[in-house]
Amino acid sequence: MTKPRAMITGATGQIGSAVLRLAAANPNLDVVGAVRSAEKAETLGFPAVLLDFDRPETLAPALEGVDRVFLMTGYTIRMFRQNRDFLNAARRADVEHIVHLGAPGDDDTPVEHWLWHQFIERYIEWSGFSFTHLRPEIFMQNLLGYGGVRVIVNGVIRHYVANARLTWIDGEDIAAVAVESLSKPEEHAEKTYRLGSDVRSYAEIAEILTRVIGQPFAYEARPPNEFLAAALAAGADTAYMQSAYENYAAYTAGTNRGEEKLFSSFVDVTGRKAASVEDFIRRHHDAFSY
């Protein structure tokens, strides 16, 4: 029998590349990565199709023969139109199952850019797809860098959430749940999986780094308005950055409560223990050394 074809969007990013690698190793899936250029297709190392969310003419050809999709889009206000156009094209292409990478939070989250993803979840459901929604907490990979900028420089972690304790998840574990959902949609349809395996403040992470790496690390809390000014000066999406700033400001003021949660979804889906922050640091030892 022909194996179902799974398209992995964001195939060259941190999470998408992990999903692509794990999905390609799954014997029950025929996998293709979606990339925005021929140059990226040549270096991907896996079968690829050209797909650009901002070029609607690329959607139908890329979706030809696709049965299941791992869907993720960038954080800009354009994500609403990008996802609508893609999902409409996927419906016309008879795609059966969508695994959507969303954002943290309960359905009533006050964080604006997190609820953007919830509107996309509702559009997926309204469109009639079988679906699995993934709502990961903070990526452990962000400790290595975010948006091309290092978070830790010469042993100093700088961030904008004061002493808030956040819930963390390894991107590799997100990918594992995504691939399980792609390969067994009958088991994971109509499910929303919140993913978070370790609760740590940045000060606690600095202590773990010091112990594991054997070099001194420290956390320096910075004011959230510093983040907003730098992000806007760099030309980042205004709506997203304003929402991120408001979230950081709430953490700094101590008014953003209820986020110190752990979730059993990873164990429930995979049957194994999720990575802790310490596990992640040990695995990336050389990247943290300075």
β-strand 48-50 against 30-35: which pairing, if any?
Answer: parallel
Q: Which pLDDT does position 134 carry in this prediction?
A: 98
Q: Which pLDDT does position 197 carry in this prediction?
A: 96
Q: Which pLDDT does position 259 carry in this prediction?
A: 61
Q: Report residues of the chain scoring pLDDT below 70.
A: 1, 257-259
β-strand partners of 135: 194
Q: Which pLDDT does position 257 carry in this prediction?
A: 59
The pTM of this model reads 0.96
Q: Which pLDDT does position 244 carry in this prediction?
A: 95
